[in-house]
Each structure stands twice: as structure tokens, then as C-alpha cells.
Amino acid sequence: MAKRDQKAGAAREKDRERWMARFQVRLAMQPGVDRAVVLQAVKDVTAHCAETGEHPRTAFGDPDACAEQAAARLVPADRAARARRQNAVVDTLDSVFKRAGDIVGL
């Protein structure tokens, strides 16, 4: 029985690590998110799970949705809007350069 408990504990820990990794990656991809925001969000999730003993999926649900909610809560609206505009410009330029390359055969 002890080996079964160890395997279950290891599987649970691996799942928690996967959830946290996905959460961090998705959070970092949100507009306006910087290192400080990621660190604060991870600290919040880790502290909650340590206090309650809950798995992050149980406490916060889907890591993608949780990342979006954390970004909305922690990133000032003006900074997020500025980052979205900047990303749109970069995407447009990338598209233009790709089309120009296709035309010239580069």
C-alpha cells in the first residue's frame, strides 16, 4: 500500500507541476504581463494551495482561464491596452514582410 500511495503522490505532484507550468506560460503570453506579474500570480496560487491543501486545478480550474483572470486582475488596463496595440502593429508588419517575401521569392 505504501508504494501505491507514493505513486499517487508523485502523480499528483507531477500534475500540479504541469498545471503551474501551463499557468505561467499562458500568463506570460497575456498583454502587458511582465516578470513581476508572473511572480505575484505564482505566489498567490502557491500560497492559496499551501494554506488549503488544494490542487491548483481544484482551486482555480483551467490554467488558461486562470492566467487570463490573473492578468486582468494584476495588469493595469492602460498597460494591457498599449501592449495589445503594440502586438497588433508587430503582427501587421510580420504579415507584410511575409507577403513581400512570398512575392519576391525570398
pLDDT tens-place string over residues 1-20: 577 878 877 888 999 999 99
Give the mean pLDDT of the chain.
85
Residue % of the chain over a pLDDT of 90: 56
Q: What angle do CA 45, 10, 1 make, to 5 degrees?
A: 130
pLDDT tens-place string over residues 37-79: 999 999 999 999 999 999 999 999 999 999 999 999 998 777 6
Which pLDDT belongs to residue 98?
73
Q: What is the mean pLDDT of residues 10-38?
A: 93
Contact 20, 45 (CB under 8 A): yes
CA–CA separation, 76 and 70 (whole Å): 11
pTM here is 0.70
- Higher-confidence residue of 56 and 104: namely 56
Which pLDDT belongs to residue 99?
72
CA–CA separation, 18 and 16 (whole Å): 5
CA–CA separation, 104 and 23 (whole Å): 41
Which pLDDT belongs to residue 89?
62
Which pLDDT belongs to residue 47?
97
